[in-house]
Each structure stands twice: as C-alpha cells, then as structure tokens.
C-alpha cells in the first residue's frame, strides 16, 4: 500500500513539474498544409459564389486541371477539392504527414479556384499569413477571393 502511494505521489509530482515547466509533447505527424478558410465572391458585384471548386495545388502543378486524379496521383495531391457553400465560404482541412520519415512543416500553400461562369484563379499563401489555433493547427484566413466573370 505504501509503495502504491509513493508511485502515485511521484507521478503526480512529475505531472505538475512537466506542466509548470512548459513541456510539450512531440507529434510524430507534423502539419504539412494548413487549414484554409475563406469566401469566394464575384469580383464585380462582391456577391458570394456558390458551388465554386477550391483545391490545393501540389508544387509540380502550375494550373487547374479538370481531369480527376488517377491512381497514385490521389495520394500525391492529398484532399479532394471542396465546393463553396451558398454564402461562398469554404474550408480546406489541414493535412498531416504520416510518414515514417516525417517531412518538414509547411512553408506555403497554393490554391486554385474554379467555377464554370468565372475565370480560373490560383494564388499562394505563405506561413507569414498563418496563425495557429489553440490546438496548434495552422490556419490561413484567406478572406474574400474575387473571381472575374468570363466574357459572354
């Protein structure tokens, strides 16, 4: 009984010492792409655009492609495109690396925006434009993304 009490007290003291010294746990799966939130709007009217596609671009992609990814490309690209809601808002979830040899964190994220009535648009956000949530997840608040209507 006395041994059990000593172990319990020792674990309690260790927990208090760790918490007070600012110990952080290491995650074996670092973030490799932030969560991105924003709203897609018409460049002329500033009205929200519903059902626009928003996708992360990989470093080797320079533009939007309408062809869906095939085979191993799905693993390279990561999450599929998301569509904007009725109010034009979108959220791309953050991505983590689950490799045995972890990749370094993220430095920039490239996004492509597509809607059949508007010109395609791509942009880039760097780590300087990001903040972290309370849980440590990187977050980019993209704000309003204006799309230019296609000529009729």
Tokens of 79: 């999450």
The rounded distance, in Å, linking the Cα atoms of 151 and 78 is 33
pLDDT digits (tens, 9 = 90+) for 95-129: 777 665 555 556 788 899 999 999 999 998 887 77
Q: Which domains does the chain have, with CATH numbers?
A: 27-147 (2.60.40.10)
Closest CA to 115 of 48, 28, 36: 48
| Distance, CA of 81 to CA of 112 (rounded, Å) | 9
Report the pLDDT averaged over residues 69-84: 64
Alpha-carbon gap, residue 46 to 124, rounded angstroms: 21
pLDDT at 18 over 60: no
pLDDT at 25: 47
Per the CB < 8 A criterion, the answer to whether 88 and 28 are in contact is: no
Residue with tokens 């009725």: 86
The DSSP element (H or E) to which 146 belongs, if any, is strand 138-147
Phi/psi of residue 4, each to 5°?
-60, -40
Whole-angstrom distance between the N-terminal and C-terminal Cα of the chain? 84
Token pair recorded at residue 93? 């979830």
Distance of alpha carbon 114 from alpha carbon 78, whole angstroms = 18
For residue 66, the 8-state DSSP code is: -
- Reported as a pLDDT band with limits 50, 70 and 90, residue 78 is low
Q: Mean pLDDT: which of 5-9, 15-19, 140-144 is highest?
A: 140-144
């Amino acid at each position: 009984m006395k041994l059990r009490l000593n172990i319990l007290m020792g674990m309690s003291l260790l927990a208090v010492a760790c918490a007070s010294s600012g110990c952080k746990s290491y995650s074996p799966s670092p973030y490799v792409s932030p969560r991105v939130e924003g709203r897609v709007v018409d460049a002329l009217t500033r009205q929200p655009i519903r059902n626009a596609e928003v996708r992360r671009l990989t470093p080797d992609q320079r533009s939007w492609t309408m062809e869906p990814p095939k085979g191993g490309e799905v693993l390279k690209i990561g999450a599929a495109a998301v569509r904007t809601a009725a109010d034009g808002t979108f959220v791309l979830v953050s991505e983590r690396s689950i490799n045995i040899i972890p990749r370094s964190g993220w430095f920039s994220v490239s996004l492509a925006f597509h809607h059949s009535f508007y010109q395609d648009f791509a942009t880039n956000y760097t780590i300087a434009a990001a903040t972290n949530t309370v849980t440590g997840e990187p977050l980019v608040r993209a704000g309003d993304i204006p799309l230019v209507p296609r000529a009729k």
